[in-house]
Amino acid sequence: MKPLNEVIAACPPSGIRRFFDIAAEMDDVISLGVGEPDFVTPWRIREAGIYALEHGYTTYTSNAGLPALRMLICSDLQQRYSAEYEWDTECLITTGVSEGLDLALRVLLNPGDEVIVPEPCYVAYEPCVAFAGGTTVRVPTRWEDRFTVDVDVVAAAITPRTKAILIGSPANPTGAVQPRETLQALARLAEKHDLYLISDEIYDRLTYNGSHTCLGAIPEARDRTIVLGGFSKAQAMTGWRVGWICAPQAIAELCVRVHQYTMLCAPHVSQLAAVEALTSAETDVSEMVADYDRRRRVFVKGLREIGLECPEPDGAFYAFPSIRSSGLDSETFAERLLKEQGVAVVPGNVFGPSGEGHVRCSYATALPQLETAVDRMAAFLQNL
Amino acid sequence: MREILELLERDSSLSHDTIATMLGLPVEEVSARIAEWEASGVIRRYKAVVNWEAVDDAIAREKVVAFIDVSVAPARGVGFDDVALRISRFDEVTSVHLVSGGHDLRCTVVGRDIRAVSDFVSQRLSTIDRVMSTATHFVLKTHKRDGDVFAEPEPDHRLRVTP
């Protein structure tokens, strides 16, 4: 038979998959390997979803999504971050940031265009760039800098083919939050070299030391930035598959064009649940954020006490400790920790070369489990 | 500081150390505060929320709970307080609230069986001076109490490792 698509065939499967397979076979596993909240969606949101089903909101919506939801998203961005977007021309609803990322890259890239991606980063960035016909140019971030982006390193990676810079902040897997000054410097750099910016802000609400900066609120960035956001993390709505894109009109229009042919619209029920999330679930969100913060403090302290250096994770729900003191590489550490002590973590190298020497631990796990996991990790380190 | 109380209200088994770490406070400060609250009666006591219906022991499970609405003739100077206090002093009574609506006091009474609760209401509660009438509502099933839903918790539906 004729060969399948060579770009897709050449894309390696996610390094996370192997650990999933091992963990799935084992009993008594405490998983710190989960990239989603341990909370279920707040009941008032689920109840709104049930109501929507009950009343037959089972149809398509307009391609761009429910006006009510887009209005709420834009006014939320305005109030929270002073980012100004027109709901009817600059905002569309996607099936999560995953689709948003795909749309953004497809709309921006021509074959051979380069996208600069600071790593370690979310596992989907590089494959999505490749699927959109582009080439990823990784730039390292260092844990000594708490994984903040060094703008000079980014500048040095710019070539005539560079089209965009893609960043996620707060970040999966490092928990790093890019400071406002860094984002401003990136915006100026993008302006100088006429580059687009893609800003994955799915973890925007999960910051613990100071607040999030929306890239779309930085004046130099506003007209060249695609902001991606959603409801999966803060509102614990991963399975609903609902997110959004805010971008200048010319970009948003093309995003809608791809979306209307490939997705048509985000699920109607999920959009209505998202309306409820923005209308009445603020208390639930703050309580969940406060809870993550408390677990974060306990967990990071625990990791440090058992001898793992851990840069302060300022956002998301991941700690990204260094495991270099163990003398093992990330893959070996994670595999042995899982097999010997039944604690699942994700090796840092699957998020990029700069993640080597680290493991990603999600603290979206009940506190007693986190405490047991730390005890088991201590036992693992002692038996090395 | 309010956060310390909220944490304890949800889980009184948290150690002072853990609370201090969770809130980024020195442990001495947390302990001092809690000691103050214990002394001043802000914190009354620490206890477990038990779902008796789930206890696997027929005798331990045998417990009847009733809500008793009580109408009281108020008295000059004390209103309903003296009667409320008299009712509160019985061990069988686990809560007493002054409420708006058709009755004045809403009480919770716990007994070994229906007979025990009925006897308590007819012989003890109704006979208190200025208690005009009572209405007894036996609890048939408890679905939620003190913030805890007594349904089987859903298992964690998440995959074990996800990006």
Domain ranges of chain B: 2-40, 53-141
Distance CA B26, CA B28 (A): 5
Angle at A209 between CA A203 and CA A215, to 5 degrees: 45
Q: Which two tokens stand for residue A266?
A: 């985000």
Residue B132 phi/psi, 5-degree rounding, is: -90, -40
A363: number of Cβ within 10 Å: 29
* Cα(A215)–Cα(A200) distance, integer angstroms: 9
A159 exposure class (CB count in 10 Å sphere: 0-12, 13-18, 19+): exposed
Distance CA B121, CA B102 (A): 18
SS3 category, A111: coil
Give me the residue from B3, B159, B161 closest to A346, CB to CB.
B161
Tokens of B114: 């229906």
- The answer to whether the CB atoms of A123 and B163 lie below 8 A apart is yes
The reply to whether residue A16 touches residue B154, judged by beta carbons under 8 angstroms, is no
Instruction: State the Cα–Cα distance between residues A121 and A246, nearest whole angstrom.
Output: 21
Indicate yes or no: CB of B23 within 8 angstroms of CB of A16.
Answer: no
Structure token digits, residue B159 = 């995959």
Give exposure, A230-269, as e/b (b: 16+ Cβ within 10 Å). Answer: bbbbbbbbbebbbbbbbbbeebbebbbeebeeebebbbbb
Residue matched to tokens 């959109």 = A132
A340 to A18, A23, A369: CA distances (angstroms): 16, 12, 17
pLDDT score, position B55: 84
* Chain A / chain B CB contacts < 8 angstroms: 53
Chosen for mutation from A32, A34, A351 (greatest number of chain B CBs closer than 10 Å) is A34
Q: Which of residues 194-213 of A touch B (CB under 8 A)?
A: none
Q: Which residues 325-354 of chain A have a CB within 8 Å of chain B?
A: 344, 346
Distance CA A17, CA A29 (A): 16
Task: State whether ipTM is beyond 0.90.
Answer: no
Indicate if the alpha-carbon torsion angle A282, A288, A290, A293 is positive or negative: negative
DSSP symbol at A326: G
B122 Cβ partners below 8 Å, 6+ apart? none
Q: For residues A88, A91, A95 and A96, what is the CA-based torsion angle, rounded to 10 degrees?
A: -150
Of A34, A124, A172, the CB nearest to B158: A34
Instruction: Give the gap in angstroms from C-alpha B156 to the nearest C-alpha of chain A.
Output: 8
- Token pair belonging to B133: 């009438």
Question: Measuring CA to CA, which residue among A240, A224, A264 is closest to residue A107?
Answer: A224
Domains of chain A: 6-41+283-382 (3.90.1150.10), 58-281 (3.40.640.10)
Range B53-141 has CATH code 3.40.50.300: no
Rounded-to-integer distance, Cα A380 and Cα A328, Å: 12
Q: How far is A257 from chain B (nearest CA, A)?
A: 28
- Which two structure tokens, joined as six digits, stand for A263? 């997705």
Is A294's CB within 8 Å of B23's CB? yes
In the predicted structure, residue B57 carries a pLDDT above the cut 80: no
- Phi-psi domain of A6 (left: phi exceeds 0; alpha: psi -120 through 50; beta: other): alpha
Long-range contacts of A54-62 (CB under 8 A, 24+ apart): A57/A268, A57/A269, A57/A272, A58/A268, A58/A269, A59/A268, A60/A264, A60/A265, A60/A268, A61/A93, A61/A265, A61/A266, A61/A268, A61/A271, A62/A265
Residue by residue, pLDDT tens for chain A (384 residues) are 999 999 999 998 888 888 888 888 899 999 999 999 999 999 999 999 999 999 999 999 999 999 999 999 999 999 999 999 999 999 999 999 999 999 999 999 999 999 999 999 999 999 999 999 999 999 999 999 999 999 999 999 999 999 999 999 999 999 999 999 999 999 999 999 999 999 999 999 999 998 899 999 999 999 999 999 999 999 999 999 999 999 999 999 999 999 999 999 999 999 999 999 999 999 999 999 999 999 999 999 999 999 999 988 999 999 999 999 999 999 999 999 999 999 999 999 999 999 999 999 999 999 999 999 999 999 999 998
Q: What is the DSSP letter of A51?
A: H
What is the C-alpha separation between A354 and A144, in angstroms, rounded?
Answer: 11
Contacts of B7 in chain A (CB under 8 A): 294
Dihedral over Cα of A258, A262, A263, A264: its sign: positive
